[in-house]
Amino acid sequence: MSDTLLILGASGQIGNELTQKLREIYGNKNVIASDIREGNEEMMNSGPFELIDATNKVQILKVIKKYNITQVYLLAAMLSATAEQYPQKAWNLNMNSLLAVLGLAKEKHIQQIYWPSSIAVFGATTPKENTPQNTIMEPSTVYGISKLAGEFWCNYYHDKYGVDVRSLRYPGIISWKSKPGGGTTDYAVDIYFKALKEEKYTCFLSENTRLPMMYMDDAVDATIQLMQAKSSQVKVRTGYNLAAMSFTPKEIATQIKKHIPDFEISYQPDFRQQIADSWPQSIDDSKAREDWNWQHQFDLASMTKDIILNLKKHQ
Ligand code: AKB
């Protein structure tokens, strides 16, 4: 039997681009997009779409049965900055959606799950450079706590009930097609839009705040590669460290200036600075590279060139 995929949270930053790539690979009719709100025109016109609240197990099961779904990609989540404003809401969304989907796999309604974790599982006591796969994890944000708890729920369901659930600790994901919402790394997306429109940007993090980041193309490839790996290759059932590049706001501004010489950046750090300061500066992802041959394509210079080219073409 061929795979039929359900994407929960398909209208978000990663969901949007992942859905389109999965439709190219598995066929439009075999990738069911869903969210609590409708997606963009491309998503709504290219394949099936269902309105689903990702925390509602009954609603999810109904759609699983309707389309004979075999795999669920659960991308609905509240990100770090927004979660600090709405801690209880964030916990409910991030945890209840995961427990609903894990439960459906335990009950054998689906065969495989993808669930994203984040570098937010790490905290101020974690080694900041080349952060290892296994290390001290004391997150200080609600989002980080939910991702750390989620990783261990995934591991538990895998060990105890044989659920095939796979996860990546995403760094900040940068894209030009879809904007993120409510994250601490969002500045690295906003900066490109503002650079093209206004030739200036006020950054909410300080100039030397170094964070791990990744271009969307690499994040989508990593996700699909992990899901297509043989089960025996997937040796980590919490979340895999995943990396491509690390940079500061000052360094991204320097790259942008190569394409837009008049671009100016200024700095007005806000509450998100504290979140960023608690996260690693760079990640050791050798386990992902060893277990399922992960390789990134884009660095800061090639990503910047690609984004500016595409934004100029499409705006
Ligand atoms: C955020 O900033 O909250 C996310 C993340 C690193 O998980 N981009």
Asked if 286 and 209 sit in the same domain, the reply is: yes
Q: 1: CA distance to ligand 1 center in Å?
A: 36
Q: 85: CA distance to ligand 1 center in Å?
A: 15
Tens of pLDDT, residue by residue, the chain (315 residues): 589 999 999 999 999 999 999 999 999 999 999 999 999 999 999 999 999 999 999 999 999 999 999 999 999 999 999 999 999 999 999 999 999 999 999 999 999 999 999 999 999 999 999 999 999 999 999 999 999 999 999 999 999 999 999 999 999 999 999 888 899 999 999 999 999 999 999 999 999 999 999 999 999 999 999 999 999 999 999 999 999 999 999 999 999 999 999 999 999 999 999 999 999 999 999 999 999 999 999 999 999 999 999 999 987
Q: How far apart are CA 137 and CA 125, in angstroms?
A: 7
Helices and strands counted in the chain (H then E): 12, 14
Cβ neighbours of residue 212 closer than 8 Å, sequence gap 6 or more: 119, 171, 172, 243, 244, 245, 246, 279, 280, 281, 282, 283
**How many domains does the chain fold into?**
2
Nearest CA to ligand 1 atom 8: 172
Asked if 187 and 282 sit in the same domain, the reply is: yes
Q: Domain range holding 85?
A: 5-172+215-241
Q: How do beta strands 5-8 and 31-35 pair?
A: parallel
CATH number at residue 108: 3.40.50.720
Q: Which two tokens stand for residue 116?
A: 């994203």
Per-residue model confidence (pLDDT) at position 1: 55
Per-residue model confidence (pLDDT) at position 102: 99
Is 240 a residue of the active site? no
Asked if 118 and 205 sit in the same domain, the reply is: no
Q: 268: CA distance to ligand 1 center in Å?
A: 19
CATH number at residue 309: 3.90.25.10
Q: 214: CA distance to ligand 1 center in Å?
A: 11
Is the CB–ligand 1 distance for residue 79 below 6 Å?
yes
Is the CB–ligand 1 distance for residue 144 below 6 Å?
no
Nearest CA to ligand 1 atom 1: 183
Is the CB–ligand 1 distance for residue 252 below 6 Å?
no
Is the CB–ligand 1 distance for residue 120 below 6 Å?
yes
Asked if 93 and 229 sit in the same domain, the reply is: yes
Asked if 68 and 130 sit in the same domain, the reply is: yes
Which one of the listed residues 26, 67, 114, 143 is annotated catalytic?
143
Asked if 121 and 35 sit in the same domain, the reply is: yes
Asked if 54 and 164 sit in the same domain, the reply is: yes
Cβ neighbours of residue 63 closer than 8 Å, sequence gap 6 or more: 6, 32, 34, 50, 52, 69
Task: Using alpha carbons, select from 29, 18, 133, 122 the residue that is nearest to residue 76.
Answer: 18
Q: Is this model's pTM higher than 0.95 or not? A: yes
Asked if 99 and 48 sit in the same domain, the reply is: yes
Per-residue model confidence (pLDDT) at position 180: 85
Phi, psi at 123, each rounded to 5°: -140, -170
Asked if 208 and 220 sit in the same domain, the reply is: no
Per-residue model confidence (pLDDT) at position 315: 74
